[in-house]
Amino acid sequence: MSEPGNAPLQAQEGEGAPVLSCVGLAKRFGQRSAVDGVGFEVSPGEIYGLLGPNGAGKTTTIKMICGLLDADAGSVRICGRPLAELSVRSLVGYVPQDIALYPDLSARENLAFLGRLYGLRGRLLDERIAEALELTELSDRGKDRVDAYSGGMRRRLNIAAGLLHHPVLLVLDEPTVGVDPQSRHAILERVRSFGASGMAVVYTTHYMEEADRVCDRVGIIDHGRLIAEGTKRELVEALGEKDRIDLVATGDLRALAAASRAVPGVERAAEADGRVHVVAGDGRSVLPALVEAVESSGVTLNSVEVAEADLESVFLHLTGTALRE
């Protein structure tokens, strides 16, 4: 019999299997297909990034992994055990996108409540609360009400609540939304340390630089389908070296994107966040023609940034859209 809330001991029952194995996951909401045949595996200590724009199917996939949504087809296994077993959920730490905490309770009271749902009681619960608060650098604010916390502190506490029961798989659904750069940096560093400690992590985001920074492997999801998967190097190599040119401009950016696509050598162009992202095999050679395209489209060019191929350009290449669209 395993100690309550001590997930690693329970995980040994499925030793040798990947921590998370999703096969052919599918989910429809009425006529709309939200997830269609998604499958991937995550190993111990691996940080897996699930990338995609809003509405791509990331959160639906996450909810099926955590047992919050029943899949119409496919299966989820945690350490080789089917998710249908209620006890398997104690192997998973779920950190939702929303700050799912009672604002009128203190951090300790919130953690005590959530810990009890995972079978933690008494001294063990107290120890885990202290540990989770320390891990997220909130020990000195544990008695404060959550509504007195800053946005970044709430995010960290939200993560702490998912760690109380020592899960073998931590599922983080866009954990840095709405936080300041300093807090984001702290959260990303912490996520990296979770992976280094042997915990498997599924991390969804639409911030490509975050995925670049913390994820060992990424899966790119769009329109409910997993369209590519691998390490950053694998994905860039598979698609060929491409340069990315960002045209920061004011005016009709859609027209600029259309004009850019007409330039010989440009493979893709899309506008997002007040700029036009252009993918080209040789960025420098197409730059003069791009500048002419800017002039012909009537926009005011503020700056031009040329970058080597990265996950952003991989995404652009695969989906034809910028990630934040």
Contacting residues toward another protein, per CB under 8 A: 66-70, 86-90, 92, 94, 96-105, 109, 113-114, 116-119, 161
Residue 56 φ/ψ, nearest 5 degrees: -75, -25
Shortest distance, position 307 Cβ to another protein, whole Å: 36
> Among residues 112 and 245, whose Cβ is nearest to another protein?
112
C-alpha distances in Å from residue 223, one per residue of 53, 207, 301: 9, 18, 33
> Among residues 137 and 147, whose Cβ is nearest to another protein?
147
> Among residues 5 and 224, whose Cβ is nearest to another protein?
5
C-alpha distances in Å from residue 131, one per residue of 117, 137, 160, 307: 17, 10, 9, 41
Shortest distance, position 43 Cβ to another protein, whole Å: 22
> Among residues 124 and 227, whose Cβ is nearest to another protein?
124
Shortest distance, position 28 Cβ to another protein, whole Å: 13
Shortest distance, position 272 Cβ to another protein, whole Å: 28
Relative to beta strand 225-230, strand 32-42 is: unpaired
- Give the span between the Cα atoms of 292 and 204, in whole angstroms: 38
Shortest distance, position 205 Cβ to another protein, whole Å: 18
- Give the span between the Cα atoms of 209 and 162, in whole angstroms: 24
- Residues ≥6 apart with Cβ < 8 Å to 133: 107, 108, 111, 139, 142, 160
> Among residues 89 and 277, whose Cβ is nearest to another protein?
89
